[in-house]
Structure 1
Amino acid sequence: MEFFAELIGTALLTLLGGGVCAGVALKKSHANGSGWIVITFGWGFAVAMAVYLSGHISGAHINPAVTIGLAVANKFAWSKVLLYITAQMIGGFVGAAIVTVYYYQHFQATEDEGTVLGVYSTGPAISSTFFNLFSEIIGTFILVLVILVMGLQETSPGLGAIAVGFLVVSIGMSLGGTTGYAINPARDLGPRLAHFFLPVPNKGGSNWKYAWIPVVGPIIGGALAAAFYLVFFA
């Protein structure tokens, strides 16, 4: 059940998150051009809804960086890490696949290959390996650290889901403009694989040269956040 909960939770996350990117970016959508604030709130609400959906079964990690961070912080069993990450990656692919079908006609109407890829995965505003990696590390560090510290406080599960959603909104608004704030390898790699394998209209390359950054950066950021938590909060 935990595997299925992580899969459907991450699928919902990428369906709603990729959906808001598609609505804002693709031509002939009523939401076209509505901007960055809509995207950041869309992703934040997507996280909150995914937590509501699967939190009571699996804890709703829905993010390999969170799973690894919790394991490093001794809050999660290492024996389950691979199981959770596998479910999250599959969920990321499934959610993106549904977005592909849902917005298929709008992909057909959108000729720009970069815009199409942006529905599925992140990319740098200014390409720089060091600074792009730094952005993903810092954004995920904040995400995982705050989640860990929230666990020290007595809050209802419902309030916790909303709080994490607004945390993602805050990271997106303040720090997301540099790389698109993946802060979640499953949110980026799963949909990027969907973009690569599925017959998406008007797609170009999947930018595999950049693809390692939104995977490695969040994992480093999550592990560093857990180490910081153990030193200063545990």
Structure 2
Amino acid sequence: MAEATGVFFYVFPGIAAICTFTLATTDAAGQELGVSVFGGILQIGIAFGFGIAFAIITCASTSGGHFNPAITICLAIWQGFPWKKVPHYIFSQIFGAFMAGMVLMGCYWPEIQAKHAEDLATVGTSVYNGGAASILCTFPNAGQTNQGYIFFQEFFVDAFIGVVIWACLDPANPFVAPTSVPYTIGFAYTAMILGFAANSISTNLARDLGTRIVAAIFFGGEAFSFDNGYSWISILVNVPATIFATGYYELLLRDSLQKIASGHGQHEHGEEGLVRHLTRVETANQTEQGFMNSTFNKRKEDSSV
């Protein structure tokens, strides 16, 4: 439940920001659809970034704060997270995103209906970038016909985020305090959204798949088949990209406590010998201190006499 709640906290404000941005339009008759507000990529990036920070703050102490199937898999690969828990975590994460999409549809249902009707009248479908369905999940721009470029972009955006997350989880990293981790990870997402959201990115299997299911429920199965099945990129690329990023960090960047200690002097009899040695030193120090105290007290008595 903590994983599902955390993903909800992360996705809900983000897609709400996308919603206000998408609905700030007018129909063919010049009537305003939904809410007349200013929106943009900056607004969306901030909403997702703070959503991630709030998700970690509220739920990470219970579940560890994965909120991303790729992170759960990487923690199992590199950090000993139990593989038997991986399916439960992934299901919970997808469910949290699904619920965020469903609740948003309830909040903005009249406005989204108006946008959907306008899309059908002008384009014939709501499943395109800028359509009502794009409030929930990512669709590529009209000019993005080469999926190779989209794959390349998605891979390295997700890898960038993955390296930052792994750096935040490194206990030997002196530049990230535990209290700053939620905002550091949130800012990493914000940075990538500001740079690449206008060019189609997903960044998270659960965030995309959960809300894409909602899009399919309300706008049809084209949510998965649009643009020759683009959805496989937005759903799946996050996993190999994050494995690549965390492997890169583990093999080339990690300076763990174990590695810091390598090459340092060790007692010939190991830890137990070191403990016995320190015990003897402490005992000797106590004996010496006791002798000095008794000598000082005796001299003090002699001087007073």
Letter of the structure 2 residue corresponding to residue 225 of structure 1: A
Q: Which structure's relative contact order is higher, taking Cα pairs within 8 Å and 6+ residues apart?
A: 1
Distance 1:41 1:219 in 2: 24
Is 1:22–2:15 an aligned residue pair?
no
Give the alignment's TM-score, normalised by structure 2: 0.70
Aligned counterpart, 1:177: 198
- Whichever of the two has the greater Rg, that structure is 2
Distance 1:220 1:105 in 2: 39
Aligned counterpart, 2:148: 130
Letter of the structure 1 residue corresponding to residue 216 of structure 2: F
Give the alignment's TM-score, normalised by structure 1: 0.90
Distance 2:4 2:198 in 1: 28
Distance 1:72 1:99 in 2: 35
Is 1:188–2:208 an aligned residue pair?
yes
The structure 2 residue matched to 1:231, chosen from 247, 251, 268, is: 251
Aligned counterpart, 2:167: 149
Distance 2:81 2:163 in 1: 15
Distance 1:207 1:70 in 2: 29
Distance 2:161 2:42 in 1: 19
The structure 2 residue matched to 1:94, chosen from 99, 118, 130, is: 99
| Contact 2:11–2:207 (Cα < 8 Å) also in 1 | yes
1:57: Cα distance to partner? Answer: 0.8
Distance 1:97 1:157 in 2: 33
Is 1:5–2:2 an aligned residue pair?
yes
1:232: Cα distance to partner? Answer: 0.5
Structure 1 residues 168 and 69, CA gap change in structure 2 (3 angstroms):
same
Shifted more, 145-154 versus 57-66: the winner is 145-154
The structure 1 residue matched to 2:223, chosen from 206, 214, 219, is: 206
Q: For 1:11-67, what per-residue CA distance to the aligned partner results, in whole angstroms no more than 9, with x for missing partners?
A: 222211111111111132143x51111111111111111111211111211111221
Distance 1:81 1:186 in 2: 13
1:75: Cα distance to partner? Answer: 5.2
Q: For 1:66-114, what per-residue CA distance to the aligned partner results, in whole angstroms no more than 9, with x for missing partners?
A: 2122223225332321111010011111110000000111102212213
**Root mean square deviation of aligned Cα:** 1.6
Structure 1 residues 227 and 30, CA gap change in structure 2 (3 angstroms):
same
Structure 1: runs of 5+ lacking an equivalent: none
The structure 2 residue matched to 1:80, chosen from 79, 85, 89, is: 85
Distance 1:39 1:49 in 2: 15
Distance 2:74 2:154 in 1: 14
The structure 1 residue matched to 2:236, chosen from 207, 212, 216, is: 216
Letter of the structure 1 residue corresponding to residue 184 of structure 2: A
| Contact 1:70–1:226 (Cα < 8 Å) also in 2 | no
Aligned counterpart, 2:303: none
Letter of the structure 1 residue corresponding to residue 248 of structure 2: F
Aligned counterpart, 2:181: 160
Letter of the structure 2 residue corresponding to residue 120 of structure 1: L
Runs of 4+ in 1 over 6 A off after TM superposition: none
Letter of the structure 1 residue corresponding to residue 9 of structure 2: L
Distance 1:55 1:16 in 2: 18
Distance 1:30 1:49 in 2: 27
Distance 1:216 1:43 in 2: 20
| Contact 1:137–1:221 (Cα < 8 Å) also in 2 | yes
Letter of the structure 2 residue corresponding to residue 218 of structure 1: N
SS in 2 for 1:61: coil
Distance 1:11 1:142 in 2: 23
Structure 2: runs of 5+ lacking an equivalent: 24-32, 120-125, 255-305
Q: How many residues of Structure 1 are paired with residues of Structure 2 in the alignment? A: 225
